[in-house]
Chain A
Amino acid sequence: MTLRLGRHEFTDDATLMMAIVNRTPDSFYDKGATWAEDAAFERVRTVVEQGAEIVDIGGIKAAPGAEIGPAEEKERVVDLVARVRSTYPGLVISVDTWRAEVADAVCAAGADVLNDAWGGADPELVDVAAQHDAAIVCTHTGGVTPRTRPYRIEYDDVVAAAIADTVGYAERALAAGVAKESIVIDPAHDFGKNTFHSLELTRRVGEMVDTGWPVLVSLSNKDFVGETLDLPVGERLTGTLAATAVCALAGARIYRVHEVVETRQTVDMVWSIAGRRPPRRAIRGIQ
């Protein structure tokens, strides 16, 4: 099935880099480096040059912190979305929000994808996606409240739970009128999950691919990588790329990333190993 993200269509064998753009003063990885709108826009320019097909603009960090209301969230992201839309018409713009009110405003400003990292906490989000013919990312959080950390959450089978919740969410989006080719599922590593859960989801991500819905993975520099290797933020790229390779071999389609170039190379290499992508330019031994 062709994947359609708002204004943009992609073939079945395409893999996509979704570059993270934080319009926040306090996100864990960049610690506010792109908080100013111009800095965030500069980050967009950089990742476009690096080949990202999608930017994922977020106005609120995932971890707990100061309350940011919908009005302030919109102030942070709507103008940036409009500016990116007019500068880069060929770029897919995703906005990381769980709020229908914010989603409505960013879609009006030109967003193509609603990346709901919090698993449908706002039930009206799917209606907004349908109204704007936008794509939606359906994540699994185990039902936690947005911006909370996992605490003693356990699952009988975390992968079965992730599949049940994301597919259920996808079907809800479909029933609300979101186009079938515009629905993506995401197991949401570390959201409502401890490190053991995220490792198991990585190991068994092929079961999510087997649902037939395109799978997005968000692995970049996360705590499950950090805890597995006992490394701080800033030293997790190798671990991130190892997890990326496992997900690519299983057939995940979209990669939400901080490092576009390294992830693109990893995914291309694995996609070719899997026999889904020819080499870029091979002549050795076949001259």
Chain B
Amino acid sequence: MIALVPGVLALLPEYASIEDPVPDLRAACLDAVAALGPRVRVLGTGSGERVGRHLVETAGAEVVDAGESGVLVVANGSAKRTEKAPGHLDERAEAFDETLRELLVGPDPAGLAAIDAELGAELWADVGGLVALGDLLAPGQAVDVTYDAAPFGVQYWVIRWSPDAVPSDA
């Protein structure tokens, strides 16, 4: 079982508010992580990995380096989706995220492995974990997208991939 969540710092307890600014996202993340089983390997960069570890621990699972029951990948799209986004509006961001979405939902492992990391950096996208994700997925795997929005000008996805292939007549 594999899941993708965004590395949103507001998910960490040290950044908790009285009113959760991301209740739907948090719920989707925790649901996705809960499906990964008791031992979870976390793939992400920098603070994203910290967010992933926190979510795993919150779900009552253990973070492991090997022998995992599931893999949690922490990554997200561009932070330049709107004028009020952290990185202000970049007209290329929406198309970049659309391409990412297609690769993730496909899934398209070869496409993920070939993501334009330079453009991703320019668009403030956190895609470091997605290259490794490409190695884990197989074409035709069943995909469940439970969150897909850019509420603060940053594109988030919560996606689950189950090991089962989608039947060819589906």
Q: Which residues of A contact B (CB under 8 A)?
A: 277-283, 285-287
Is there contact, CB below 8 Å, between B154 and A279? Answer: no
**Leading 6 A-B pairs by shortest Cβ distance:** A286-B9, A287-B152, A283-B21, A286-B10, A281-B19, A287-B154
Is there contact, CB below 8 Å, between B17 and A280? Answer: yes
Q: Which residues of A contact B22 (CB under 8 A)?
A: 283
Is there contact, CB below 8 Å, between A279 and B8? Answer: no
What are some 19 contacts across the A-B interface (CB < 8 A)? Answer: A277-B18, A278-B17, A278-B18, A279-B17, A279-B18, A280-B17, A281-B19, A281-B21, A282-B10, A282-B15, A282-B17, A283-B10, A283-B22, A285-B86, A286-B9, A287-B9, A287-B10, A287-B79, A287-B154
Q: Which residues of A contact B16 (CB under 8 A)?
A: 278
Indicate if B44 sits at the interface (CB-CB under 8 A): no
Contact residue among A281, A285, A287 (Cβ-Cβ distance under 8 Å from B17): A281
- Docked complex Cα distance between A287 and B87 (Å): 11
Q: Which residues of A contact B152 (CB under 8 A)?
A: 283, 287
Indicate if B48 sits at the interface (CB-CB under 8 A): no
Q: Mark B138-170, 1 if CB is under 8 A from A, else 0.
A: 000000000000001110000000000000000
For A285, the closest partner residue in chain B by CB is: B86
Q: Which residues of B contact A279 (CB under 8 A)?
A: 17-18
- Docked complex Cα distance between A277 and B18 (Å): 8
For A283, the closest partner residue in chain B by CB is: B21
Q: Which residues of A contact B18 (CB under 8 A)?
A: 277-281
- Docked complex Cα distance between A283 and B8 (Å): 10
Q: Which residues of B contact A278 (CB under 8 A)?
A: 16-18
B18 CB, min distance to chain A CBs, angstroms: 5
Q: Which residues of B contact A280 (CB under 8 A)?
A: 17-19
- Docked complex Cα distance between A283 and B25 (Å): 13
- Docked complex Cα distance between A278 and B15 (Å): 8
For A280, the closest partner residue in chain B by CB is: B18
B154 CB, min distance to chain A CBs, angstroms: 5
Q: Which residues of B contact A277 (CB under 8 A)?
A: 18
- Docked complex Cα distance between A281 and B15 (Å): 10
Between A281, A283, A285, the greatest number of chain B beta carbons within 10 A of the residue's beta carbon is seen for: A283
Q: Which residues of B contact A281 (CB under 8 A)?
A: 17-19, 21
Between A277, A282, A286, A287, the greatest number of chain B beta carbons within 10 A of the residue's beta carbon is seen for: A287
A112 CB, min distance to chain B CBs, angstroms: 26
B104 CB, min distance to chain A CBs, angstroms: 20
B90 CB, min distance to chain A CBs, angstroms: 16
- Docked complex Cα distance between A287 and B17 (Å): 13
A88 CB, min distance to chain B CBs, angstroms: 24
Is there contact, CB below 8 Å, between B86 and A287? Answer: yes
Q: Which residues of A contact B21 (CB under 8 A)?
A: 281-283
- Docked complex Cα distance between A283 and B151 (Å): 11
A273 CB, min distance to chain B CBs, angstroms: 15
- Docked complex Cα distance between A245 and B154 (Å): 36
